[in-house]
Amino acid sequence: MTEENQEQELEFAATDAVVQENHEIQSIDSLSAEELLDKARESLVLIPATALKILNQIKPVLSKRLEEDRNREQSESDTEEFEFSKDQLEKDFNQIIQTAQEARVEEKKRIELEKADNLNKKKALLKTLAELVEEDETEQSIKRVKEIQSQWKEIKLIPHEEQKSLWDKYHRLLDEFYDKHSINIELKELDRKKNLEVKIELTKKVEALLQEPSIRRSYSLLNKYHEEFRNTGPVPRESREGIWEAFKKVTEEVYQQKKAAQDEIQAQREENLNKKTLLLDKLRLMADIPFDSTKKWNQKSKELDEIFENWKKIGPVPKSQSDAIWMRFKQERSKFQAGRKAFFAELNNARKDNLKLKRALCEKVEALKEEEDFQSTAKKIIKIQEDWKNIGPVPDKENKAIWARFRAACDYFFDRRKQSFEDKREEEEANLQGKKVILDALKHLVESDKNEQESFAIFKELSQKWKTIGYVPQKNAKKINSSFDKLGDQIFAKFKKDPSQLKQGEWLEHYQQMAEAPNGNSRIKDSLYHLKKKRNTLNQDVMQMEQNLSFFNSSSADNPLLKDVEKRLNNARKKLEKMDAELKVLKSIQRKLQD
């Protein structure tokens, strides 16, 4: 196969591989009308063709959402003259589509102008190349041909009907240039070898597309690599057939793989269609039954919401069926909602009862907003907020006022709680500084020449001060407590004492004081729970490290990783022993409280 025929076949293969992936937006089904309009505005920053695809996906969802909002506002309206609050939103969306369409028209004009300009540029390059073919070959003429090849690659779009004739002439002139002249053969062969390297690299890039998850990106890159392959100059004659067959083979593999993925997507959409058809049948049965109680209507409304939520989760169906099945679903849902609206029209007086209930909730929150127990009060107010949500609508003329009253009371409490948390953070920072002072004192004690009795007296006094200082920021707690333990161990090591004896005494004294305080039993129980939980976590770490050690063979004794695991395992075991000792003290205190 000649290189000209290869390039023509390549052009056909590249054209055949252009399959545009649908610009599906899987996350818009749950968006409100306002959020959909924002998405539409954001699309205008994209190229017009892509923007229009996105807008066409948004349009049916937005129409559905506006219809839902219109039905809801009509059902809640107390007046005969109804004016939809989101008419302007629909007008804004239509204006966005018009803007994108106008931009697309301008884009097409610009592309046609660009194609015409590129055609003239390539014709000029061909004219120059033809002149160089007739001249005697020099190093300068070879350099000029290379420049023409580079410029030719950079010029992309041209009119489709001109592609083949320009391409044939371009390659004919290049071959004439390389074959007609006999000088600088080594330079020409080097150039062909470089072209071969480029084509080998392009073949590898195409093969890498087998790992690319995006179908659209795969086809885009495939076309790009085909264009680069075509625009790369000739290779050594003995390599022409081989590199072409390799490139063609991997191209077909990519195309078949992506086609299989597209077929799988289509099969999934068919399955989605079946699922949505089942939901539609279920909705049709609901819409045909008139209910005679609020409980039944509310129950079926929840079922309708569940059906709609499941509908949104299913995903897209084949485009040919998308509008039809949605219109059928929408009609059945509207039929159900019309029956519900007619029923609740007779229950309009319930809104006045709802107003009384919401006023009562306002009074509850206002009575709680000055409470100092932020944790339990927050739970109560959150529960009241949930109760508020469960109460139906109130008369429109009272709606804003009652909501403002309720919101103001809730915000007042939560603003106070926020300020309290900020004060707590400042207190914890102060506690951190206080503990750092004690650490400095312990360092001086370790380095001092004081005797054993005096050293332990000072250590005990510093330990008591340490306990009286409150919480520190959580991010610093582990490090500063570890520093305190290490300094304590150094003091005991200095006088060859067992720190566990003093630790047990300190724990006993600490927990006895805790037990004698208000709510002592509860605090002891809470401390025991957290210590057990911490001990279980550490024990799991120990078992995991012991299992990791079993992976090392006997020849791994000098392995740094093995040594690190053994060191961490020994430290963890020591911590477990300390925790067990502390748990023993805690349990003894708890038993005394229970007796």
The whole-number average pLDDT for the span 256-279 is 84
- 237 pLDDT above the threshold of 80: yes
CB 119 within 8 A of CB 158: yes
Residue-wise DSSP of 49-67: HHHHHHHHHHHHHHHHHHH
Domain boundaries, the chain: 31-181, 498-595
Q: What DSSP state is assigned to residue 53?
A: H
Please give the pLDDT value at position 360. 92
* pLDDT value at residue 12: 38
- The confidence score (pLDDT) of residue 181 equals 61
Joined tokens for residue 121: 């540029």
pLDDT for 316 equals 85
Q: What is the pLDDT of residue 557?
A: 61
pLDDT of residue 4: 44
- Across the range 128-154, mean pLDDT stands at 80
pLDDT at 26 (0 to 100): 47
Q: What's the confidence (pLDDT) of residue 18?
A: 38
Token reading at 306 = 């569940």
Q: Is 98 exposed, middle or buried (0-12, 13-18, 19+ CB in 10 A)?
A: exposed
- Predicted pLDDT of residue 186: 64
Nearest residue to 224 (alpha-carbon basis) of 213, 238, 209: 209
Torsion, CA 525, CA 528, CA 530, CA 536, rounded to 10: -140
Structure confidence at residue 137 as a pLDDT band (50, 70, 90): low
Residue whose structure tokens are 């078992």: 543
Cα separation, 300 vs 285, whole angstroms? 11
Distance CA 580, CA 397 (A): 66
Which is more confidently placed, 382 or 457? Answer: 382
Cα separation, 29 vs 276, whole angstroms: 15
Give the residue, 424 or 575, on which the prediction is more confident.
575
Residue type, 258: K
Listed residue (43, 45, 100, 92) closest to 66, CA to CA: 92
Question: Model confidence over 245-267: pLDDT tens digits?
Answer: 888 888 888 888 888 887 888 88
Buried (b) or exposed (e) across 24-54, using 16+ Cβ within 10 A?
ebeebbebebeebbebbeebeeeebeebbbb
Phi-psi group of 159: left, alpha or beta (phi > 0 → left; psi -120 to 50 → alpha; rest → beta): beta
d(CA 578, CA 500): 8
- Is residue 377 a contact partner of residue 425, using CB atoms and an 8 Å limit? no
- Token pair listed for 487: 């300094």
The pLDDT value recorded for residue 172 is 84
Give the up-direction half-sphere exposure of residue 114: CA atoms within 13 A in the CB hemisphere: 10
Give 14-23 pLDDT, tens digit per residue: 443 333 334 4
Among candidates 33, 97, 29, 28, which has minimal Cα distance to 65? 33
374-426: pLDDT as tens digits = 788 888 889 988 998 888 888 778 889 989 988 998 888 888 888 877 777 77
Neighbour tally for 313: CB within 10 Å? 10
Checking if the pLDDT of 8 tops 50, the result is: no
Q: What percent of the chain has pLDDT over 90?
A: 1
> Cβ atoms within 10 A of the Cβ of 340, count?
19
Give the largest Cα separation in the chain, rounded.
114
Is residue 247 within 8 A of residue 229, CB to CB? The reply is yes
DSSP assignment letter at 181: -
Cα–Cα dist 573/577, whole Å:
6
- Full-prediction pTM beyond 0.85? no
Identify the band that residue 80 occupies on the pLDDT scale cut at 50, 70 and 90. Answer: low
Mean pLDDT of the chain: 79
Q: What is the pLDDT of residues 517-552, one digit of tens each?
A: 556 677 778 888 888 888 898 888 888 888 877 776
pLDDT at 168: 84
Token output for 518: 């208000």
- The pLDDT tens digits for 470-505 are 777 888 888 888 888 788 778 777 766 555 555 666
pLDDT at 281: 84
Q: Are 294 and 347 in contact (CB under 8 A)?
A: yes
Q: What is the mean pLDDT of residues 295-314?
A: 83
Residues 339-360 have pLDDT tens digits of 777 776 766 677 788 888 988 9
Please give the Cα distance from 367 to 496 (Å, whole number): 61
Using an 8 Å Cβ cutoff, are 565 and 549 in contact?
Answer: yes
